[in-house]
Structure formats: structure tokens, C-alpha cells
Amino acid sequence: MSAFPTSFSRAPSNLLTMQNLRNINLTNVAMGRINEQLASGLDLLRPSDDPVRSAAVSTLDARIEATNQILKNLNFAGSTSGTLDQALSDAKSLIDEAMSIASGQINSDPETRESQAVIIDSLIDSLYSIVNQDSLVGHIFGGSAPGRQPVIFDRGAYRFVGEIGSLTAALGSASDVPLTLGAGAALGELSERIEGVMDLDPDLTPDTLLSDLNGATDSGIDLGTLQFSFSGGPTGSVDLSAAKTVGDVVDAINSAIQQYEVDNSVSVLGPGAVSINGSGLSVDVPSGDLTFSDVTGASVGESLGIAFATPTAFNAGNTQGSDLDPKLTWTTPVSAFNGLGGTPLGSIVVTNNASRRTIDLSGAQTLADIRSLIESGDSGVRVVIDDSGQSINVVTESAGTSAHALSISQVTGDNTAELLGIRTLASYTRVSDFNDGRGVDVVSGRTDPTTGLVDPALNTDFEITLGDGFVISIDLSPSDLATVGTLITAINGQADAQLAAASRPTSDFDASVSTTDNGIEFQQSAALALGGGVSVRPLNNSTAAEQLGLMNAKNLSGNVGIRSEDRATIRVDNLFSHLLDLSEALKADDTFGIELAAERLGLSQDRLIQARSRVGGYTQRLDNEVRRQEDRIVFDEAVRSQLRDLDYAAASTEFARLQLQLQAGLSVAAQTQQLTLLDFLG
């Protein structure tokens, strides 16, 4: 017999209908969700399903996306590494061919050498194509700027216009692997520098950044709390942790001391207060003693040059702090260069890439102005601040023959190039830098075969003949060749001794660095010039006179002396230069030049082999990182699958159960809808 459920005794039919619909709808919703899960394969359809699992899945999604991007980068890097390796292999083959030609032409005839020079020229063209080769990331030898062609042909020379350094990308643990190579990384230096020797010693300014100071301890500026006391009174403090510039430090210390004066009813500072004086801080204390100190473990005051390990007070007799050794920056004013000794800037003469320019620096207000003026006019040189931050270096970009070498000289009566420390031939120039870094050779230590003793006559390098025929013998030793200054001192010393021994005035001869064009000058007195010029003759097969440029010296006006050829010019040491030298030597039928070029090519070959080894190491690291990233992404996807993906077996079973439940619910609903009052009464 049919009956109503006991929970709905005497319930309206509408309520019974709504209850049935609710149960059916809940089943339909559950079936719809499982149907969506089965269609998508996901257990988590939206974050609200399980916030904890959703957060974990979101983190894994981000990691997997980042890993996929790293894998793409690694694929690009691998392709670029392969291109680099092939380019270096091509360059190696090129060097091998050039060295084979050089060795085969040592004992050849002029006609054959001329024909082989044509082949070397074609190798230079091939090298030009290699260094400008593209990869997926740009020019492989473009350094940190691969978007532009790194080497251009400029007035007979090959000029590097790219950037030094290399391009890197997010490559996981291999992120330091370069995608490109820059100057000096493989094919030799594509730029050479004149290293400034003068410390320009800039003054402090209120805008000088603390990060641009070496500090009194030569370890930078320490920031934090600085303590001070006045004439045995209470201790005050100032917090310098937020200071960025020297002006910030001065303002903070002055403010703290002024507050100290108010709090303790004392007068500490004079009208000068704490201020900037030269390259350090100055403290005006008219009476009493002001002592700065550091808290335990800090070195704020010590680095600022106003606190010392042995407490030292500032007073009327001691006002100046230690030198903070400011570094040069492009905004450093020229007026702050103590290294100039108060001398205003004038003009310099820059000869580079077969062009000569006189550059007026008198209008420069900052170091950036000096750079702009020197680099202007497509000169092929760059000005950079030395790593020490104390001087400037000049870099040439052009690799060419000796005619394209860089030299910086002076204008008559103007020593600006020496003041800036960038003159290529001055008293401070190393003799070892002469002749493209080969230096100067002297005969030394030769002994008499009979006595076994050192014979000065056998060790004389050259002799100087004056206008009246007087001969001065010069015997140089390796210790005389430290710098041009020591060389000239040695020559003048020997000349003075020989002149004095002959009862002649030492003013008859003088060796010096030319005050204008670069070179070593041998000058005689005006009276001797009437009899003829100065000449130099090598002795004992010594090459010193030739390597010093004395054999190609120019006569000075009025026969007063000679000026040597400039042998201290700066040339780029790279494969382009070496191939150009070989071509030039072959065309000139110069056996020694061929041998020298072959030697230089051997150095380029060694550099190239080392570069290929590095690139091979980079490629191996990239391959290892690809495998590591692939393993990581597999693991992350497995964990994400466990958290997010659907268990099809369980879902199918649940779907079948819900189908049965829905069928039962529909059947029950159909039956209950057919009941009447008679069924209830019966």
C-alpha cells in the first residue's frame, strides 16, 4: 500500500513537489560538475573548489611557465653558442692559412710575396665577415650591444664600434654564460688604451656622492651613527644612515652639533662650522676640543676622516680632516682637478687612424666635456675613467697598420696632454711600450774573449756625433730602460761625463723629450750647429738606436739637433692588425716584418684556441642546464597533476552512482505526484 513519507505528514502537495525538485536538482548539479571534470580532465575547476590546493597549483603554474621561458632562452643560447663555435673555427682556419703563408715566404722572392699578399688581403675580408656575423640574438661579437655591426671599415682600418662586455640572459644556473663576445674575448683586443698616469685628485663638492669616495680608510664610506663630545661634556650623536652626498653629511653633522649647543648651553662651532675643504671635511672649533668617535664595531667617523683610532680633537690648531680621496665622475668639474696644479687646460693633438686633429679643451667645464671634445668628429677614440677612479684613459677603436696608430702630443708651449696624463710619449712613458710593446733591446754584458772581463767597447749601443765632429758613446743597460725619463737621464749622464772629460761645457749636448711633437730630441749648442747637424750611428749590431727611432730622426731647424721618430704610438693588438702587418711586410719584401707578423699571429692563434675552449665549456654548461630544467619541469608537472588533475576511475564511479540516484529520484517523484486523498484514506 502506498503512503506519504512520515516526514511530510499532512504536508501540502506543493511542498512535496519542491522537495523532490531540490533533490533532483542537486543530483543534476553534481552530475554537471563531474561531467565538466571528465570533459576537462581537471579536478579543480575554480579556486573556490579548494583554496589551499589552488594556491599550490598557482605557484607551480608560475614555476613551470618560468622554466619553459628558461628552456626557450637556453635553446636560443645553444644556437648562439653553436654559431660562435663555428665562427671561431673559421677564424682558426684563417689564422692557420695565414701562418702557413708567412712561414713559406721567409725565404721567398719579391714577386711571390706580392702574390701571397693578395691572399692575405682576402683573408682579412673573410675575417671582417666573421666578426660581423649574426645569430638569433644579434651580432655574436657585438658585446653588450649586439644590435649593431661591431666592426666597420674606416679609412683603411678596421674600427670596433660595438661595446665591451657581453650579453647575458636568464638561463637558470647558467645565467653567467655569455650569448655574445665583445672586444678582446676571442680575436684579440679590438681596442687599446692609453692609461692615464696622473691622479687628477678632484676636490669634494656638496653634490659628491658618498659612493664615489674611496674614504679615509680606502674602503669606501661607512654609514650609521656617529658620536661626538665637546671638552669632556656629554656625548651627542648623529645618524648618517640616510646620507647620500657629502652635503647630506655636512648638513646632518652641523644640525646635530647645533642642537647639542642648545641642549647643553655651550658654543662649539665657529662661523666655518663643519664644511668642505679640498678633498676632506673641515671643522671650525674656535675654543675647546671637539672629538668624534665611532660606536663599537662601526667606522663611520673613521671613513669620513674625522674620527681616529687614537682620539684626536678638532680645535683652533687642528681643523682639517683626512683626505677622502674622491673618485672621478663625468660630472666632476675641471676646476676641482687638483692634479692640474691650477694650470688651465689648453689644447692637445690627437693623431689616430691616419688623421691629425688639434682639440681645444680650454672651454671644458666638466670631465664629460673633455670626453665629448676628444671623442667628437668621429675620431675613433673613446675616453673612459680608469678603474681606480683617479685618472682617465684614452681608447682607440681602430686596428690598422702602423700608419693608423694612435698618438697624443702637445701644442707648442702647452702641456695639457701631460697634465691630463694621456700623452703617449712623455718622461713617464714605459720604454717597454715602445714598438708595439716589444720594447728596446740593448747589448749588455759582453766580455773580452782574451781577458774574460766585460768590455765597455763591446757594449756600446750607439754613438752621437756633434756638429764639430765630437763623438759621444752611449752604453745603455736594461736598468736604464724603465721609462723615457730614466733613459734620458742615462744618456745625459754619460754625455756630461764625456764632455767634462774633454774639458768641454756640458751645455754642448742635451737629450730631452720634445715639448711639442712626440719624440726624443738630441740638441747641441748653437755654436756647434754652425759646423753641422747631429747624427747617430749604431754600434756592435745593437738595435737600440733603431728601436728608439733615432735612425729615422728629423733634423731640427738650424741644425740644432734631431727629433726621433715616435716609437711609442698605440696600436690595437688583434688579428686584424697582425694580418695587415703581414700583408704590408709581404708587399714591402720585408723579411723581418714577415717573421714579426708570424710571431704575432701565433699569439692570436693561442688566444683563439683559448676562446674556443671557453665556448666549448659554455656549450656544455648550457646542455647540462637544459637537462636540469627539463627534469625540474617534469617534477613540477607531476606534482601539479596530483593536485589538480582528475582521477578518472573515481569520477566515473561517482558519475554512475549519480545517474542511478537521479533515476531513483525521478521515479520516486513520479510516483508521489500520482497519489490522491483516496490513497491516503485507504
86-105 exposure pattern, b = at least 16 Cβ within 10 A, e = fewer: ebbeebbebbeebbebbeeb
Contact 433, 606 (CB under 8 A): no
Contact 490, 466 (CB under 8 A): no
What's the rounded Cα separation, in Å, for the pair 46 and 56?
13
3 state SS of 230:
strand
CB contact burial 225-259 (16+ within 10 A = b; e otherwise): ebbbbbeeeeebebebeebebbebbbebbbebbee
User: Other C-beta atoms within 10 Å of 107: how many?
Assistant: 7
Q: Which amino acid is at 217?
A: T
348 closest CA partner among 430, 423, 425? 423
Q: What's the CA gap between 597 and 98, in Å, rounded?
A: 10
User: What pLDDT was estimated at residue 650?
Assistant: 78
Q: Which residue has the cell 653633522?
A: 253
What CA–CA distance (Å, rounded) separates 580 from 589?
14
pLDDT (0 to 100) of residue 3: 45
Q: Which residues of the chain have pLDDT under 70?
A: 1-13, 16, 183-191, 672-682
Q: Which of 472, 476, 540, 525 is nearest to 500 (CA)?
A: 472
Quick one: which of 134, 188, 69, 124 has its CA closest to 572?
Answer: 188
Quote the pLDDT of residue 2.
Answer: 41
* DSSP collapsed to 3 states, 81-138: HHHHHHHHHHHHHHHHHHHHHHHHCCCCCHHHHHHHHHHHHHHHHHHHHHHCCEECCE
Q: What's residue 342's pLDDT?
A: 82
Furthest CA-CA distance within the chain? 161
Q: Report the pLDDT value the prediction gives residue 484, as an integer from 0 to 100.
A: 96
Q: Which of 69, 267, 253 is nearest to 172 (CA)?
A: 69
Crossing angle of helices 575-587 and 110-131, in 10° steps, is: 160
Predicted pLDDT at 46: 80
